């Protein structure tokens, strides 16, 4: 089909006008020159975990694409409050980002005095991935599948013990939601992190746990734990042969860890959009997708609005669980 010179001229004029309008806007001009200095990604967890490693991988790709250094700073402590608060109080120019997690939705219900309001003070950029978890039991538990597990648990109320990464943490809430939806009664044993809990699970000191796939897969292959089902609503790319609790009969059950990039609320929308587009492109590359799968995660992506809606839905869902189970953080 032929395009007239008049049409081409109009298109060119529209493009020039659009660019001129963007340059005329202070936020637009700022977005065009962004990033203008080194960037940093604050990770509110210790070095070495999946969130830290993903932040470093994304940061390295941003640095390659934009020609600015991207430094990852680990600021653990206070149930992630220390790191999040640092980002909230940083300059709203997009050069300081947060690698946020479930705590963005949970802390408001568990901690009396959070020094910020996530809905007011944080600008979601992109939901990077959801972390696959699984219900696993020690081989001494007489159950090879979900039906046998439920039958045994209901016949022996409060006999089974489950470990978590701490009071009020995601793995604790995953078990509470499971109990609410199935009617089983179990005893909670909180630990200070995944490592000690998994050690006791493998040793048979506790009976079960809702653990991440990155730990579950090697332990299951070694015969140290028995898989009952994944906590995802659908099967994970990290373990496509493993069934979900949802498909096995706990209809509607979904409980995943997740992490994404956020920024201070006052960062211009044009910069948020630029960050979203670039990071979405990065996480959809085959290299990053495979890396996320290695960590037991599935790529999500999407718009800033999608991420904001997701945080709100998580807060609503887990807030109800926390109130119903009367859970208080330690």
Task: Return the CATH number at 291.
Answer: 3.40.190.150
Handedness of CA 275, 47, 231, 316 (dihedral sign): negative
Indicate whether 241 and 270 sit together in one domain: no
Indicate whether 137 and 181 sit together in one domain: yes
Instruction: State the residue range of the domain holding 111.
Output: 38-130+257-325
Residue 307 lies in a domain: yes
Q: Which of 226, 257, 232 is nearest to 245 (CA)?
A: 232
The CA distance from 230 to 216, in Å, is: 10
CB 3 within 8 A of CB 10: no
Q: Which of 214, 248, 282 is the last residue of a domain?
A: 248
pLDDT tens for each residue of 154-176 = 999 999 999 998 899 999 999 99
Give the model's pLDDT for residue 49: 83
Q: What total of structural domains would you count in the chain?
A: 2
Residue 22 lies in a domain: no
Alpha-helical (H) ranges within 204-285 are 213-221, 245-248, 269-283
Buried b (16+ CB within 10 A) or exposed e, 301-330: bbbbebbbebbeebbeebeebbeebebebe
pLDDT tens for each residue of 272-317 = 999 999 999 999 999 999 999 988 899 999 999 999 999 999 999 9
Cis peptide bond N-terminal to 250, omega within 30 = no
Indicate whether 54 and 106 sit together in one domain: yes
Q: Which of 248, 277, 306 is the last residue of a domain?
A: 248
Residue 150 lies in a domain: yes
Q: Which of 183, 214, 248 is the last residue of a domain?
A: 248
Indicate whether 219 and 262 sit together in one domain: no
The CA distance from 106 to 319, in Å, is: 7
Indicate whether 126 and 261 sit together in one domain: yes
* Residuewise pLDDT in 10s, the chain (330 residues): 444 545 555 655 655 555 555 555 666 677 889 999 999 999 999 898 888 999 999 999 999 999 999 999 999 999 899 999 999 999 999 999 999 999 999 999 999 899 999 999 999 999 999 998 999 999 999 999 999 999 999 999 999 999 998 899 999 999 999 999 999 999 999 998 888 999 999 999 999 999 999 889 999 999 999 999 999 999 999 899 999 999 999 999 999 999 999 999 999 999 999 999 999 999 999 999 999 998 889 999 999 999 999 999 999 999 999 999 999 876
Residue 264 lies in a domain: yes
Residues shown for the chain: 330
Indicate whether 285 and 297 sit together in one domain: yes
Indicate whether 138 and 210 sit together in one domain: yes
Give the model's pLDDT for residue 1: 44
Give the model's pLDDT for residue 48: 86
Indicate whether 236 and 278 sit together in one domain: no
- DSSP conformational letter for 231: S
The CA distance from 130 to 326, in Å, is: 26
Indicate whether 152 and 80 sit together in one domain: no
The vertex-66 CA angle with 128 and 99, nearest 5°, equals 30
Residue 17 lies in a domain: no
Which residues is 164 bridged to in the sheet?
190
Indicate whether 267 and 126 sit together in one domain: yes
The CA distance from 32 to 15, in Å, is: 15
77: left (phi over 0), alpha (psi -120 to 50) or beta: left
Tokens 């060119």 correspond to what residue?
12
Residue 28 lies in a domain: no
The CATH number given to whatever domain includes residue 170 is: 3.40.190.10
The CA distance from 189 to 90, in Å, is: 38
- DSSP conformational letter for 58: H
Angle of helix 170-182 relative to helix 304-325, nearest 10 degrees, comes to 60
- Torsion angles phi and psi, residue 133, rounded to 5: -125, 170
The CA distance from 277 to 40, in Å, is: 18
Tokens 């680990």 correspond to what residue?
74
Q: Which helix (H) or strand (E) holds 136?
A: strand 133-137
């Amino acid at each position: 089909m032929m395009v007239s010179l008049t049409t081409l001229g109009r298109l060119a004029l529209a493009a020039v006008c659009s660019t001129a309008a963007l340059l005329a806007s202070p936020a637009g001009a700022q977005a065009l020159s962004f990033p203008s200095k080194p960037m940093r990604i604050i990770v509110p967890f210790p070095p070495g975990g999946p969130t830290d490693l993903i932040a470093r991988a994304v940061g390295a790709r941003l640095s390659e694409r934009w020609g600015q250094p991207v430094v990852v700073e680990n600021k653990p402590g206070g149930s992630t409050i220390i790191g999040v608060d640092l980002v909230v109080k940083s300059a709203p120019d997009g050069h300081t980002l947060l690698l946020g997690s479930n705590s963005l939705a949970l802390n408001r219900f568990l901690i009396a005095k959070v020094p910020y309001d996530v809905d007011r003070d944080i600008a979601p950029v992109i939901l990077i991935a959801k972390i696959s978890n699984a219900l696993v039991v020690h081989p001494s538990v007489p159950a090879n599948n979900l039906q046998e597990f439920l039958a045994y648990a209901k016949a022996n109320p409060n006999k089974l013990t489950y470990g978590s990464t701490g009071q009020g943490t995601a793995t604790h809430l995953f078990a509470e939601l499971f109990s609410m939806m199935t009617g089983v009664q179990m005893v909670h044993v909180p630990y200070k992190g995944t490592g000690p809990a998994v050690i006791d699970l493998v040793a048979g000191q506790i009976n079960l746990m809702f653990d991440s796939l990155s730990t579950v897969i090697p332990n299951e292959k070694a015969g140290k734990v028995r898989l009952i089902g994944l906590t995802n609503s659908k099967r994970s790319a990290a373990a496509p042969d493993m069934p979900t609790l949802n498909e096995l009969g706990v209809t509607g059950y979904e409980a995943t860890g997740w992490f994404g990039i956020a920024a201070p609320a006052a960062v211009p929308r044009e910069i948020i959009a630029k960050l979203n587009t670039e990071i979405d492109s990065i996480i959809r590359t085959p290299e990053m997708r495979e890396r996320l799968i290695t960590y037991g995660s599935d790529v999500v992506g999407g718009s800033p609005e999608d991420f904001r809606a997701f945080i709100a839905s998580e807060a609503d869902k887990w807030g109800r669980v926390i109130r119903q189970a009367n859970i208080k953080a330690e």
